[in-house]
Amino acid sequence: MKLLPIAIIISFLFSCNTKTEKPVETPVTNNTPQVIVPEFIADSAYAFVKAQCDFGPRVPNSKGHIACGDYLIEKMESWADTVIVQKGIVNAYDGTKLNFRNIISSFNPQAKNRVLLFAHWDTRPWADKDEKDIDKPILGADDGASGVGVLMEIARQLNLNKVEIGIDIIFFDAEDYGKEGGGSEAEDSYALGTQYWAKNLHVPGYTANYGILLDMVGAKNAQFRFEGLSYERASGVVQNVWKTAESLGYSNYFLHQDGGWVTDDHVYVNNIGIPAIDIINSDLSSRNGFAKHWHTHADNMDVIDTNTLRAVGQTLMSVIFKEKVSS
């Protein structure tokens, strides 16, 4: 992903298969039916993050990338009702041909009311924000694996606890092979797998009520703010997610503050008419607006914290399980 220039920011200102999880109950108020929300198991999500990192960097065309993709497909096929693997080749900005796989998993595929959850599973091919070993790929524990790990745990829970609405979970590929710098050319050099999917939907005419992107959602003391495009295109979804997090006691993670505009996978989901938001860690004190480990070799398992994974995962679980009552 890529943070847009500061002028635009200013303009916005306004092993783990146990079935004994403890549910989180939403109290009955007035005539609102009781909603039983399963407990998100943060240790399970952490294990899924680590499992991805154990393959090493997941740069398209690399052995680690191929092996990790096979692992993700195998796990999702064990949980989801259907799994579609969208394969192809995209051209990177430097002319490199990238073999990619978008992994598309569906729960309750016949349901008309659907929610799309997504993250990217590839990693940055170089550490352009580091001071050493800049030309070497990063591990991407947070930037890549954390969002996928949270969604894997949600998928595992959906296998154990059925929902009435349809849920689609997509792991997009070739997101982070983008060109450093500004301008539309650089912006469109990111999220290549998502751009391909948007032009070649896995189901003709596919749509969803809304989408939620997870990107860098695992670091200790992460802070999630209102991303610009998210609030412009899907303010109701933003408010629902942030209010849900607050009700669960996670207001120290989900801040009611403007966070700037980010070029990320959600841009291209919004472009096809699905209102989508980006839950992404931001640090407004840094020069680039992201956490200090962003696009550096410090993005490893040392930055991953189960408390952050739980805050994000439990919030999303509450959002989607309550959808079955309101839909």
**Cα maximum dimension of the chain:** 60
The pLDDT value recorded for residue 213 is 98
pLDDT score of 90: 98
Calculate the alpha carbon distances from 304 to 46, 143, 216 in Å.
8, 11, 10
| Predicted local distance difference test score (pLDDT) of residue 242 | 98
What integer pLDDT is reported at residue 185 of this predicted model? Answer: 75
What is the predicted pLDDT for the residue at 1? Answer: 65
Check which CATH number belongs to the domain holding 307 and give it: 3.40.630.10
Provide the pairing of β-strand 24-26 with 35-37: antiparallel
* Residue 233, both tokens: 């295109």
Q: Determine the Cα–Cα distance for residues 231 and 223; give it in Å rounded to an integer.
A: 16
b (16+ CB within 10 A) / e for 163-202? bebbbbbbbbbbbbbbbeeeeeeebbbbbbbbbbbbeeee
Measured CA to CA, the distance from residue 107 to residue 75 in angstroms comes to 14
**What kind and span of H or E run contains 246?**
helix 228-247
DSSP 211: E
Residue 171 corresponds to which tokens in the numbers above?
């792991």
Residue 191 to residue 105: CA distance in whole angstroms? 19
> Is residue 45 within 8 Å of residue 150, measured between CB atoms?
yes
Quick one: tokens of 67?
Answer: 């092996």
The CB density around residue 290, as the number of other CB atoms within 10 Å, is: 24
Q: Which amino acid is at 143?
A: D
What is the distance between the alpha carbons of residues 96 and 253, in angstroms, rounded to a whole number? 38
- The string over 206-241, giving b where at least 16 C-beta atoms fall within 10 Å of a residue's C-beta and e elsewhere, is eebbbbbbbbbbbbeebbbbbbbbbbebbeebbebb
| Residue 57 burial class via C-beta count within 10 angstroms: exposed 0-12, middle 13-18, buried 19 and up | buried
Total number of residues shown for the chain: 327
How many domains does one find in the chain?
Answer: 1
CA distances from 192 to 23, 156, 184, 261 (A): 38, 27, 14, 19
DSSP state of 105: E
pLDDT score, position 282: 96
166/112 Cα distance (integer angstroms): 7
pLDDT for 239: 98
What angle do the packed helices 147-160 and 306-326 form, to 10 degrees? 50
Ranges of residues in the chain with a pLDDT under 50 are 5-20, 26-29, 325-327
Give pLDDT, residue 50. Answer: 98
pLDDT of 16? 40
Domain that residue 274 falls in: 2-326
